[in-house]
A = this chain, B = another copy of it.
Amino acid sequence: MPKVGMEPLRRKALIDATVSAIGARGSLDVTMSEIAGRAGVSSALAHHYFGAKDELLQATMRHLLAELNWDTRQALAAAQSARERVSAVIAVNFSENQFQPETIAAWLAFYVEAQKSAALRRLLRVYARRLHSNLMSGLAGLLPRPTADQAAEAIAALIDGLYIRRALRNGTPNATGAIAIVEDYVEAKLGTAAPATIRNRLSGDQS
């Protein structure tokens, strides 16, 4: 067992341990020892690889963001129409990978911490922008510009709100219920904005 090339493994293990520790505690108030313990290493090693706690937390957040982004890419690639693109983005946020107690708690904790940390705030802005543009990649074909923008904003808020509510009630709403709420909004929005036939034609064209 050569001891070389451990770095990426340790980094990964530590980041996973961070997510799970935050998930378990429900806040960023986790100690380096707790994290290191979950990763099966000493806390000194965590410092060795990440320098400071802040950096480990940021790396963890970046990891979460990257995973979400990857999942979203996959889902969008499979979408066949504008309408499906919207649904894809929504679905990803409530997919098994993302909509899990641990991950939700971590997201929430990061949201709050971002009020203190400029670095985390920056990361969350990236996420917000990405989400918006991903939603727009579908909505732009279904609604007029300003309406689409507002719809994207509303959908994003709904997603965040559903996360928060889920975190406080044990598993309510579940993924299916959450998706239903968001999709229902989309349908209502599309329904009042333009006849369905036109919508379908438009979205079909675009894909």
Check A115–B125 contact: CB distance below 8 A. Answer: no
Bits for A96-115, please: 1 = Cβ < 8 Å to B, else 0.
00000000010011011111
State the interface size on chain A (CB cutoff 8 A). Answer: 42
Partner of A116, one of B27, B158, B189, B192: B27
List, sorted by A's number, 11 A–B pairs whose CB atoms are closer than 8 Å: A27-B115, A114-B168, A115-B167, A125-B168, A128-B169, A150-B180, A154-B181, A157-B161, A157-B162, A159-B161, A191-B191
Beta-carbon nearest neighbor of A120 in chain B: B168
Distance from A114 Cβ to chain B, minimum over Cβ atoms (Å): 6
Partner of A168, one of B29, B111, B180: B111
Most buried by B among A26, A109, A187: A26
